[in-house]
Amino acid sequence: MTKLLSSSTPSHFFQRGQGYSGPPLLTAQSPASKRYHKPTNYLDKPDAIVIGSGIGGLGVASLLAQKRGMKVLLLEASHVPGGCTHCLEVDGFEFNSGIDSVGDMDPRVGRGLNRATVDLVTKGQLQWARMPDMHEVVTFGDERYEWFSSPEKNIEWVERLFPGEGDVRRYYQLESKVERGSTGWGISKVLPTWVPEAVREQAFKLLGGGWREYMGKAAWDVFKKELGFSDKLAAVFSYMYGNHGKTPREVPFGVHAITMHHYRHGAFYPVGGPAQVSECVVPIIHEAGGQVAVRSGVAKILVEGGKAAGVKLESGEEIRCPLVISDASAYTTFYELLDRDVAKASGYLDVLGQVKPSPAHMHLMMGFDEVLDLPEYITWAMPVPKDVPRYDIDVADALYKSQQRFDAAGAYILSPSQRDPVYQQRYPGKSTLIVLAEAPAEWVQRARADKAFWHELEGRAVEGLTKVAERQVPGIRGKTPKVKTLRLPAGCNPRAWGGCSYGIEGSGPRFVQHSHRLRHQTKIPGLYLTGQDVFAPGFAGSVVSARVCYTAITGDLLFML
């Protein structure tokens, strides 16, 4: 069982009150929108073109620049770079678009590869603040459960509050079993394509036992049948379903367990806010002679003689290059950026036809012109509609999405101004709060095409999510925000499949049957994929994906070690 971390904070974590010494911070006077502009000319004869500036794209561009001295042209359709790390600027306030909490950033424990890769990509410039030991709160109406950065502490309160209602110690053993099995899955992703698929599959089977086994079992079934959890305890352990986008009866236990494991050793927040990631990486690309070009959407990936040949921009301009790396998502790459016959021959359309997008998210953002007493932890407010059994998350979620019943919606509440230890240095006298709720792809598509539908949905969402916020966060009661706005989608990649936040759904087939086809090196020579679709969802999955992509491009297998 994992040991408790020391109560002292090591020097590699930023402590509140200490002086900041990293790259220049984004501020109210100097936000990202004032630092980036559409170029008048593009880099001549780039060594590589990267489409999309999520951390998967930024990461591989940084690695190619640092380790190979390559001049990388990174093309971003939006007005600022960053993907899930970019921040939304609204009337003098800054709101996160995707990164709210990151696990596995303690280099002493857990998955050391994640922190090591982030440090490498940013040249160690990005600083991290460790969130409180009690980093999340889960509520079911008036019930409240505090979640800690330690299995021992969580076991203690579960056994005290839920005596005889399930084997919580066995749960953590299964979580570790899935984590160990992820090694086999990871090796199968890293092995180059010249290794026969049968060999890669055999390695996956030999080393991926727990991963493969529990990708075929629903989380609710494991909680109930293998662990003997009561409905109530199973629901409490299902609280993080919003971090992978599938309800307890739908999500594979493997997906849920690996998500929970990600925060086993604590939660962390980038000092200066998520957008500070780009501020660390963009200069690295420029120093090697590369270029980060915003407002430069790609209309088409050029393929000539069966090989990647460059891109055509939405402006009509063509840029030639035999190495193209797409961080635009697998769906966008193969359904929108490639000619259909080329995409079909690649085999990706067959895979994408068998999976679904993860949900999108709507963000209710509130900005206050005063410093409020807001929580540093994150609150997960579970749905408790009166006409649904109290702990049946699946039924409540279905009711929410079929009828827009916001009393049946699960919500996720955080205060970026409280989590960032230098926020008052950047935005003095201001406070921010965000309430997130899932939104299916159908809502996104209809909201874009039907203004009446959007206005009706917007009204319901603002009313419903405001009620959740006021109930869960006493510090905003009686306060009038200067800014209050709803965005859909406001997440990582608004152009993605249905605005989805986590790319391809977190299903068992995605992580087992389709794993050998969702790879960084495509069947089109010179075309590579990076980001969450070809590895794992979220910030950590995407940054490690950049490392695997670099390995696929260069053949440097030792780099993964």
Which pLDDT score, from 0 to 100, does residue 4 have? Answer: 29
Domain boundaries, the chain: 34-126+270-355+505-560, 168-252
**Rounded mean pLDDT of 170-192?**
95
State yes or no: pLDDT of 492 exceeds 90: no
> Which residues on adjacent β-strands are paired with residue 374?
none
Task: Give pLDDT tens digits for 401-458.
Answer: 999 999 999 999 999 999 999 999 999 999 999 999 999 999 999 999 999 999 999 9
State yes or no: pLDDT of 239 exceeds 80: yes
State yes or no: pLDDT of 491 exceeds 70: no
Strands (E), 124-218: 128-130, 134-140, 143-148
Provide the pairing of β-strand 72-75 with 48-51: parallel
- The C-alpha angle 72, 75, 76, rounded to 5 degrees, equals 140
Q: What is the DSSP letter of 252?
A: B
- Count CA atoms closer than 13 A to 150's CA, side-chain side: 12
> Which residues on adjacent β-strands are paired with residue 148?
134
Q: Is the peptide bond before 357 cis (omega within 30 degrees of 0)?
A: no
Gap between the Cα atoms of 520 and 545, Å rounded: 8
State yes or no: pLDDT of 469 exceeds 60: yes
Confidence of residue 2 (pLDDT cuts 50, 70, 90): very low
**Rounded mean pLDDT of 458-464?**
97
State yes or no: pLDDT of 7 exceeds 50: no
Confidence of residue 113 (pLDDT cuts 50, 70, 90): confident
Confidence of residue 494 (pLDDT cuts 50, 70, 90): confident
Tell me the percentage of the chain whose pLDDT exceeds 90. 90
> What does the mean pLDDT of the chain come to?
94
Which pLDDT score, from 0 to 100, does residue 109 have? Answer: 79
Q: CB burial class (10 A; 0-12, 13-18, 19+) of residue 159? A: middle
Cα–Cα distances (Å) from 386 to 141, 383, 395, 396, 506, in that order, read 10, 10, 12, 10, 29
State yes or no: pLDDT of 112 exceeds 70: no
Which residues lie closer than 8 Å to 531 by C-beta, 6 or more apart?
52, 54, 55, 56, 57, 83, 327, 329, 503, 542, 545, 546
State yes or no: pLDDT of 1 exceeds 70: no
Provide DSSP, 74-120: EE-SSSS--GGG-EEEETTEEEESS-S-B----TTSS-HHHHHHHHH
Could you say which of 3.50.90.10, 3.40.50.720, 3.50.50.60, 3.40.710.10 is the CATH number of the domain covering 34-126+270-355+505-560?
3.50.50.60
Which pLDDT score, from 0 to 100, does residue 3 have? Answer: 32
Which pLDDT score, from 0 to 100, does residue 6 have? Answer: 31
Report the interhelical angle of 55-68 vs 112-121 (nearest 10°): 70
Local structure of 222: helix, strand or coil: helix
Local structure of 122: helix, strand or coil: coil
**Rounded mean pLDDT of 190-213?**
94
Task: Give pLDDT tens digits for 362-411.
Answer: 999 999 999 999 999 999 999 999 999 999 999 999 999 999 999 999 99
Which pLDDT score, from 0 to 100, does residue 496 have? Answer: 86
Which pLDDT score, from 0 to 100, does residue 497 have? Answer: 87
Contact between 68 and 554 under an 8 Å Cβ cutoff? The reply is yes
Helices (H) and strands (E) in the chain, counts: 21, 19
Which residues lie closer than 8 Å to 410 by C-beta, 6 or more apart?
241, 242, 380, 381, 382, 383, 393, 396, 397, 400, 437, 438
State yes or no: pLDDT of 10 exceeds 50: no
